[in-house]
Chain A
Amino acid sequence: MTVMTPAGDFRTSYRADTTIFPTLGSRAALWAGLAVLCFAPLVLDRYFLSLLINVGTLGIAALGLNILVGFTGQISIGHAAFFGFGAFSSAWLHDTFGLPVLLCIPIAGVMTALIGLVFGAPAARLKGLYLAIATLAAQFILEDFFARARWFTGGVAGRLTESPAIGGFALDREETYFYLVLAFVIVMFVAAANLMRTRDGRALVAVRDHYLSAEIMGINLAYYRTLSFGIASFYAGIGGALYAHHLQFVSVEAFNILFSIQFLGMVIIGGLGSIMGSLMGAAFMVALPEVVQSAADAVAGGAIDRALKIGGNISFLREMAIGAAIILFLIFEPDGLARRWKLIKAYWKLYPYSH
């Protein structure tokens, strides 16, 4: 094993070809990165830690959506509803059955996966645009269900829930919850990367690239499309459960159409079909409102602020920034941040011969 990818293709076995971290350099970077993250709670303050926790939980859900949209070629504009379902399930399980939170989170993921399979079955028959519209309808219907099902969601008032506890030790502060989220992120991302190496993962990609050929080769389209929905919902459920126990309050208002669109934005900005891209896209979407807020604070009180009335209208600026970011990325960087990162790495690898 070499430190950096050598020029030329020296992989001699299939196993070597599908290694996720093939070079010593990338493995060292991985361990160093994890070490830095482990020390983060000791150094950063709660605000940044909560931002990182958000990146983690949203990143897991975005990864699920990326499996559905990027790897299988489907469309879903209802991802926030599944995220919400995971959040409500976990809170409901903990409240009704008294299960420990750490057990509730995976079970909530499984429950959400089952719901995803239910929605995925008819969706398997629809393609492209019709699927997008169907998932849009599903979003509104699920939102309505959340608002009405008091026994499950607490109705429109929402539901309070508790933070996880190991033994008697409660993980209710950002510093400790961070580690839980980090553990889940590592597990879920490695699982997704492994999924893409298996036969099922390759089948999903085949469905995306040319479904007619895939069907001719014997890949059961309906089965894999439905499976893809199930996997995406599982990830969304886990993300939602982590979100619920971080905030300790779940309410239907959080899981609206704008949130679904933000997930899609994360996936597109991060890069369709890229696992690392999901995390990058989530980081971008979490950082964007904060950057806009800081920019607005910086010009607050000045002439620009008074002329444009930025101060009171900061929420609109945030939304405009999200919309503009989506459009600009689609026009200028349609393959997302992951591709831009690959280009940057390639530039340095070939320096000074790159152009």
Chain B
Amino acid sequence: MKRVLLSTFGTVAGLIALLTFKSQGHPLTTTGALPSAGLPGSGSSSTPTTAPPAGGDTSGGSSSAPPPAASSSSAKAASRTVAGDAVETRYGVVQVQVTVSGNRIDNVSFLQLTAFDGRSQEINGAAAPILLQETLSAQSAHIDNVSGASYTTDGYLQSLQSALDKAGVR
């Protein structure tokens, strides 16, 4: 019985420890809280004002609450977007962005870059070639698709996207 209790507690404690570690490290700081309310007239974050010919407009596949900022263009935005601290990871510098409404965190997303700070660019000007060598290879980055300057049909064949498409076709 003692062993059962021990292993149960040990497992639960271990899980909590692992998960807690992964949910920390990004203290929320409001680096000039950016307004997230609706944009002046352009409707760029929500559906455009004219109905597309193909039928009713739906914002891309949202199954839950509408995007926090699309509706309210009032001065006091219900949700706030704050940026976390930049953290060193093995891909480079990661910065987290969090959308908060009230006390609740609505969404978290983040960006990975090899370098992001304009100032560090100047300081490391001579190191620019090194930066290039830290660029990621498509295999190790585990990407789903590739964005790049427009390719033609011929250009597609040489592109990273075509490699991904080929791998995904069964």
* A and B associate in one complex: no
